């Protein structure tokens, strides 16, 4: 067996364990009965440990060392060695004991956060959050970085991205968004939204979601749709990428948006070609690129007029009360802008401001420039600066998101990058498919899918995000596509 | 760490892997999308291999060796060492390469069987079945036995049972059943069954099944109900025992019976006390004892008048067409006797004859006294002798069951033993709960559950099946309880 074959075989062994782990996670968040939770954590811990040991094994280290100097490898093989080598070195840099302490602390911290959020009691969460920050700072040192320890964490979610680059994107974006939101509120005409009011039986909502997913080109023989509390998409194996969504009885489009968002992620997962399965490249190029796919389907398709023209008759066939609703009425009602407290409920105009705030705070936390004790107050100040609203309690403020409770510092920027990437890629889509709107209005959503398959999905992690973006759009990250998209769309809707 | 502690810890590691494997199996048979199947087999193979390696590890061998001579162990600890020691030695006796060849051949054989059954083409399956028989004969030699190699296989499913004992039970049973069935057909009055005709929406059938499971005392916070093609029950972890069932649109009681059958298995699983979890004792005493629980709930509760008195108003609340149905009418209609071709559709009177036939044939196969080529004809002859009916094709004959395709020789007798154990245990239940019928009629099904918890479930595998039966009923296996139960019940229904 050549080293390359042995290396690929080793990755497959890791892949098999990761598939099992993913299924255990999927089940935990969909069907696991409550009393099964305690044992499930132990089972997951065991498999994660086996996978970890395979990833940091000396065997893999030797393979990588040898292959990194080999010059007859294909593009994909080189990419695999880059991606796996990075993961190997990052994991290897953390002493196993510290990693084990971290995973135990993580699980306690997440439980404490859940409790703290429920009772809006930051003090309950504070010592755990302190530990998560301390671990993350320690990891940043162990991973290594050039100028800012936060870069070392960012690398996990958005390879190649730096704090400096983020700042250079955020500042001009904020300078456009904040006054634009002000203009919308002060000079614009807010659309009426009564058309969305009503009660919508869950089984009928599910039927609608299934039809939309199908129209998007989602392959139900390689996935499925289930419901959960916090929707997610997961590949529980090659050729098995599952969508979950959430239906709310009195908010019909919440479920449809959630399904289209997760469907966007899932199409990416289903679009990874078989030759990349279990190769280390079978995933999105980055969290940001993944999010670009979900946000594109959710907002740039789902909340646009062409899609709503196609969708309205389907909607009316399931909910006859929409029989005489004009697509334009739906379009306007679905696209209102309201600075609000909760990130996951934010509209696409204000959403990025929620992210900027989190980036600002977590970058300071990792650099030790703000203390955990001050965090709730710092949060409120920042909310006022970015969005002009201030939470009455911490449940609607600093405690609202799960990410920090498990030490996922560096994750939030992916959400913003996803929006920016989506707009930049979608501009290219429009250029290359001139009759896109007409096709979408005719229900031919798969023209978009085919394009994304060819330009984005099929590469998996072969290219780093900025490189991929350059290949797709001919330029690196350029936030002006997003601001143009937002100002065009909402100026029209708000009759500015 | 003492050896005992290290031993228990090692079993927990195996238990965690087995929990993961069980969930992967559960998912494969309920929710896995079709294209995910190929990778799932690889994932399962990987985890099974890790579990196998833990089970045959020298470390475990040393623990067992040391603990087997230790004399200060509790009853449960001794039992654990007996059960785990036996599994260790059995698995250790098979060279890993042969075991791997076997698992690969198993998977191919099962696929070939599926295809062969679909097209009723025994020739397609023949070479695979030959391999399964050859492997099983080889395993029997490796496991070791005293007089009959079949005993070595039987031991897997029914510890302590032998071919000789089975014969001593089967012969008198057959001599009573065959003429009794003849009498029912020739002298009895077959009840009318039109009351069962109709079409019954699946969602309403599911509602009924959920209510019945609940009444049985099934804990939905430690399990769930899903649907599948071939119903099964599985513990995917401690405190997580899941039921699956199957609903047929025009056969209402098929689904209810299936749910009560699987519910009986599941109550056993949920009744294993926490101190036995992941100890090697967390399962049924044997496949036969497990089956006694499912058959008791399915037949001795579900198809009896007291339960039907309780059930009829529930049934009528879901299906108003049963509003004026007398429980007695249901009782008679649900208990007709028809010698038929398919085991899983057989009534409780003829069922055991299907098993006797399989036992006779597989015992001869393992002893090389019949050839695979002759099997379809031998099957037909035996059907004629036991049941008086002959299948037109092999799909309705020798190809009907999955068991042999994966080499599960020695499994079938458990089904018969389950029926016999159930009758014997149920006679004891009647003795100790004199007002059982009244309680059941009042919906107090949990009086039975409480009794079973105390007498059967809480021991797990602590006792071998015959020992457990002796403790529960005061005697070893005695098939006369079953013949009495059957003749009493059906003489009355058929007005003999």
List pLDDT tens digits, range B462-475: 999 999 999 999 99
Find the distance separating the first CA and the last CA of chain B, reported in whole Å.
67
What residues does B226 pair with on adjacent strands? B244
Closest by CA position to A84, among listed A462, A361, A467: A462
Report whether pLDDT(A447) > 90: yes
CA atoms B26, B27, B31, B36: torsion sign: negative
Chain centre to alpha carbon of residue A2: 38
Q: Residue B290 and residue B68: Cα distance in Å, rounded? A: 28
Decide if B31 touches A, using CB distance below 8 A: yes
Nearest CB partner across the interface for A239, out of B12, B36, B224: B36
Decide if B43 touches A, using CB distance below 8 A: yes
Bridge-based pairing state of the strands A225-227 and A240-245: parallel
pLDDT tens, residue by residue, B58-69: 999 999 999 999
Partners of B17 on chain A (C-beta within 8 Å) are: 46-47
pLDDT of A77 reads: 97
Bridge-based pairing state of the strands B241-245 and B233-235: antiparallel
Q: B351-366 and B122-143 are packed helices; what angle lies between their axes, rounded to 10 degrees?
A: 70
CB contact under 8 A, B39 and A240: yes
Q: Assign 3-class secondary structure to B273-319.
A: CHHHCCCCCCCCCCHHHHHHHHHHHHHHHCCCHHHHHHHHHHHHHHC
CB contact under 8 A, B220 and A50: no
Nearest CB partner across the interface for B222, out of A35, A219, A240: A35
Q: Residue A433 and residue A421: Cα distance in Å, rounded? A: 18
- Closest-CA residue of A relative to B10 is A46
Closest by CA position to A61, among listed A21, A100, A142, A6: A6
Report whether pLDDT(A104) > 90: no
Region of A474 (left: φ > 0; alpha: ψ -120 to 50; beta: rest) is left
pLDDT of B26 reads: 96
Distance in Å, alpha carbon of B19 to nearest chain A alpha carbon: 7
Indicate which residues of B carry an active-site annotation. Answer: 262
Report whether pLDDT(B107) > 90: no
Instruction: Please tell me which residue, B334 or A106, carries the higher pLDDT value.
Output: B334
Q: Could you count the other beta carbons within 10 Å of the beta carbon of residue B233?
A: 23
- Mean pLDDT, chain B, as a whole number? 97
Distance in Å, alpha carbon of A37 to nearest chain B alpha carbon: 9
Nearest CB partner across the interface for B36, out of A31, A46, A240: A240
pLDDT tens, residue by residue, B284-302: 999 999 999 999 999 999 9
Q: Residue B194 and residue A71: Cα distance in Å, rounded? A: 78
Looking at chain B, the number of H-run helices and the number of E-run strands are 20, 3
Partners of A13 on chain B (C-beta within 8 Å) are: 46
- Closest-CA residue of B relative to A40 is B237
Nearest CB partner across the interface for A39, out of B31, B50, B238: B238
Report whether pLDDT(A353) > 90: yes
CB contact under 8 A, B219 and A35: yes
Domains present along chain A, CATH in parentheses: 3-148 (1.20.58), 149-496 (1.10.1370.30)
Q: For B365-371, what is the mean pLDDT?
A: 97
CB contact under 8 A, A43 and B237: yes
Q: Residue B383 and residue B397: Cα distance in Å, rounded? A: 9
pLDDT tens, residue by residue, B251-289: 999 999 999 999 999 999 999 999 999 999 999 999 999
- Closest-CA residue of B relative to A235 is B36
Q: Which band of pLDDT confidence, cut at 50, 70 and 90, is reported for residue B348?
A: very high
Is B496:B183 a contact under the CB 8 Å cutoff?
Answer: yes
Maximum separation of any 2 CA atoms in chain B, in Å: 70
The CA–CA distances, whole Å, from A386 to A178, A354, A382, A420 equal: 7, 8, 6, 18
Q: For B385-414, what is the mean pLDDT?
A: 97
Is A300:A197 a contact under the CB 8 Å cutoff?
Answer: no
Report whether pLDDT(A2) > 90: yes
Decide if B40 touches A, using CB distance below 8 A: yes
10 Å CB burial of residue A393 (0-12, 13-18, 19+) is middle
Distance in Å, alpha carbon of B34 to nearest chain A alpha carbon: 5
Q: Residue B170 and residue B405: Cα distance in Å, rounded? A: 25
What φ, ψ does residue A287 adopt, rounded to 5°?
-65, -35
Q: Which band of pLDDT confidence, cut at 50, 70 and 90, is reported for residue B158?
A: very high
Q: Residue A465 and residue A483: Cα distance in Å, rounded? A: 20
Distance in Å, alpha carbon of A260 to nearest chain B alpha carbon: 20
Instruction: Specify the pTM.
Output: 0.95
Picking from B19, B41, B54, B207 by the largest number of A CB atoms within 10 A of its own CB, the best residue to mutate is B19
Q: For A463-484, what is the mean pLDDT?
A: 97
Report whether pLDDT(B5) > 90: yes
Find the distance separating the first CA and the last CA of chain A, reported in whole Å.
67
Q: Residue B408 and residue B402: Cα distance in Å, rounded? A: 9
Report whether pLDDT(B97) > 90: no
Decide if B266 touches A, using CB distance below 8 A: no
A-contacting residues of B 210-249, CB under 8 Å? 219-224, 226, 236-240, 242
Question: Which contacts of A6-13 are long-range, i.e. CB under 8 A and separated by 24 or more positions?
Answer: A6/A63, A7/A60, A7/A63, A7/A64, A7/A67, A7/A81, A8/A279, A10/A54, A10/A57, A10/A59, A10/A60, A10/A63, A11/A80, A11/A84, A11/A278, A11/A279, A11/A280, A12/A278, A12/B42, A13/A54, A13/B46
The kind and range of the H/E element at A446 are: helix A446-455
Partners of A32 on chain B (C-beta within 8 Å) are: 240
Partners of A20 on chain B (C-beta within 8 Å) are: 20, 24, 43, 46-47
pLDDT of B341 reads: 97
Report ipTM for this prediction.
Answer: 0.94
10 Å CB burial of residue B179 (0-12, 13-18, 19+) is exposed
- Burial letters A90-106, b for 16+ CB under 10 A, else e: bebebeeeebeebbebb
pLDDT tens, residue by residue, B179-195: 999 999 999 999 999 99
What φ, ψ does residue B142 adopt, rounded to 5°?
-70, -40
Decide if A40 touches B, using CB distance below 8 A: yes
Decide if A31 touches B, using CB distance below 8 A: yes
The torsion defined by the Cα of B284, B290, B292 and B298, in degrees rounded to 10, comes to: 130
10 Å CB burial of residue A197 (0-12, 13-18, 19+) is exposed
Q: Residue B131 and residue B113: Cα distance in Å, rounded? A: 13
Decide if B190 touches A, using CB distance below 8 A: no
Q: For A405-432, what is the mean pLDDT?
A: 98
Nearest CB partner across the interface for A20, out of B13, B24, B239: B24
pLDDT tens, residue by residue, A20-45: 999 999 999 999 999 999 899 899 99
pLDDT of A107 reads: 86
pLDDT of A96 reads: 85
Q: Residue A430 and residue B6: Cα distance in Å, rounded? A: 64
Contacts of A83 (CB under 8 A, 6+ apart): A280, A281, A461
Report DSSP letters for A244-305, one per residue: EE--BTTBHHHHHHHHHHHHHHHHHHHTS-GGGTTTT--S-S-HHHHHHHHHIIIIIITTSH
pLDDT of A100 reads: 85
- Burial letters B309-345, b for 16+ CB under 10 A, else e: bbbbebbeebbeebeebebebbbbbbbbbebebebee
CB contact under 8 A, B220 and A19: no
Q: What angle do CA B391, B393, B397 make, to 5 degrees?
A: 55
Distance in Å, alpha carbon of B50 to nearest chain A alpha carbon: 10
Q: For B360-382, what is the mean pLDDT?
A: 97
The CA–CA distances, whole Å, from A437 to A309, A430, B102 equal: 10, 9, 57
pLDDT tens, residue by residue, A214-246: 999 999 999 999 999 999 999 999 999 999 999
Picking from B11, B30, B43, B226 by the largest number of A CB atoms within 10 A of its own CB, the best residue to mutate is B43
Q: Residue A226 and residue A25: Cα distance in Å, rounded? A: 14
- Mean pLDDT, chain A, as a whole number? 97
Partners of B36 on chain A (C-beta within 8 Å) are: 222, 236-240
Closest by CA position to A354, among listed A375, A376, A385: A385
Distance in Å, alpha carbon of B433 to nearest chain A alpha carbon: 31
Nearest CB partner across the interface for B42, out of A16, A39, A42: A16
Tokens, residue B346: 């057989």
Decide if B271 touches A, using CB distance below 8 A: no
Closest by CA position to B451, among listed B472, B478, B476: B472
Tokens, residue B476: 């070893």
What residues does A243 pair with on adjacent strands? A225, A233
Chain centre to alpha carbon of residue A127: 27
Report whether pLDDT(B100) > 90: no
Nearest CB partner across the interface for A43, out of B20, B31, B33: B20
CB contact under 8 A, A222 and B27: no
DSSP assignment letter at A233 = E
Nearest CB partner across the interface for A35, out of B38, B46, B239: B239
Region of A385 (left: φ > 0; alpha: ψ -120 to 50; beta: rest) is alpha
Grouping H, G, I as helix, E, B as strand and the rest as coil, residue A26 is: helix
Is B447:B384 a contact under the CB 8 Å cutoff?
Answer: no
Decide if A458 touches B, using CB distance below 8 A: no
Percent of chain B with pLDDT strictly greater than 90:
97
pLDDT of A10 reads: 98
Distance in Å, alpha carbon of B293 to nearest chain A alpha carbon: 23
Q: Which band of pLDDT confidence, cut at 50, 70 and 90, is reported for residue A127?
A: very high
Partners of B23 on chain A (C-beta within 8 Å) are: 23-24, 27
- Burial letters B6-24, b for 16+ CB under 10 A, else e: bbbebbebbbbbbbbbbbb
Contacts of B449 (CB under 8 A, 6+ apart): B216, B217, B267
B-contacting residues of A 355-414, CB under 8 Å? none
CB contact under 8 A, A39 and B221: no
């Amino acid at each position: 067996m050549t080293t390359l074959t042995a290396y690929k075989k080793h990755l497959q062994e890791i892949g098999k364990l990761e598939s099992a782990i993913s299924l255990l996670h999927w089940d935990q968040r969909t069907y696991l009965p409550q009393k099964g939770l305690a044992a499930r954590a132990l089972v997951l811990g065991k498999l994660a440990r086996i996978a970890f040991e395979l990833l940091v094994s000396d065997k893999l280290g030797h393979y990588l060392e040898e292959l990194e100097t080999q010059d007859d490898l294909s593009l994909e093989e080189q990419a695999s060695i880059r991606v796996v080598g990075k993961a190997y070195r990052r994991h290897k840099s953390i002493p196993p004991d510290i990693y084990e302490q971290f995973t135990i602390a993580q699980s306690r911290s997440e439980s404490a956060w859940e409790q703290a959020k429920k009772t809006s009691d930051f003090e309950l969460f504070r010592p755990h959050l302190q530990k998560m920050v301390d671990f993350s700072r320690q990891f940043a040192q162990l991973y290594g970085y050039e100028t800012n320890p936060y870069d070392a964490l960012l690398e996990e979610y958005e390879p190649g991205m730096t704090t400096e680059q983020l700042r250079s994107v955020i500042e001009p974006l904020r300078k456009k968004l904040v006054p634009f939101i002000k203009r919308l509120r002060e000079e614009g005409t807010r659309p009426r939204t009564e058309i969305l009011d009503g009660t919508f039986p869950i089984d009928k909502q599910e039927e609608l979601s299934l039809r939309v997913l199908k129209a998007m080109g989602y392959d139900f023989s390689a996935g499925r749709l289930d419901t959960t509390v916090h929707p997610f998409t997961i590949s529980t194996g090659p050729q098995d990428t599952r969508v979950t969504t959430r239906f709310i009885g009195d908010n019909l489009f919440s479920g449809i948006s959630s399904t289209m968002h997760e469907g966007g992620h899932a199409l990416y997962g289903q679009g990874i070609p078989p030759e990349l399965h279990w190769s280390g490249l079978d995933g999105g190029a980055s969290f940001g690129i993944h999010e670009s796919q979900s946000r594109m389907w959710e907002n740039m398709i789902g909340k646009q007029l062409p899609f709503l023209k196609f969708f309205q008759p389907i909607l009316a066939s399931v909910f006859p009360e929409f029989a005489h609703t004009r697509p334009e009425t739906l379009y306007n009602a679905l696209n209102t802008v309201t600075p609000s407290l909760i990130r996951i409920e934010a509209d696409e105009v204000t959403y990025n401001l929620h992210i900027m705030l989190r980036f600002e705070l977590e970058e300071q936390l990792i650099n030790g420039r703000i203390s955990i004790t001050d965090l709730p107050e710092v949060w409120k100040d920042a909310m006022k600066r970015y969005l002009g609203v201030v939470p009455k309690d911490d449940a609607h403020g600093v405690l609202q998101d799960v990410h920090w409770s498990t030490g996922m510092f560096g994750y939030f920027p992916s959400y913003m990058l996803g929006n920016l990437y989506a707009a930049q890629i979608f501009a290219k889509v429009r250029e290359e498919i001139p009759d896109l709107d007409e096709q979408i209005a005719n229900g031919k959503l798969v023209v978009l899918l085919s394009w994304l398959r060819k330009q984005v999905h099929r590469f998996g992690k072969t290219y780093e995000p900025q490189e991929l973006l350059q290949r797709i759009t001919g330029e690196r990250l350029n936030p002006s596509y997003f601001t143009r998209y937002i100002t065009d769309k909402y100026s029209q809707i708000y009759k500015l």
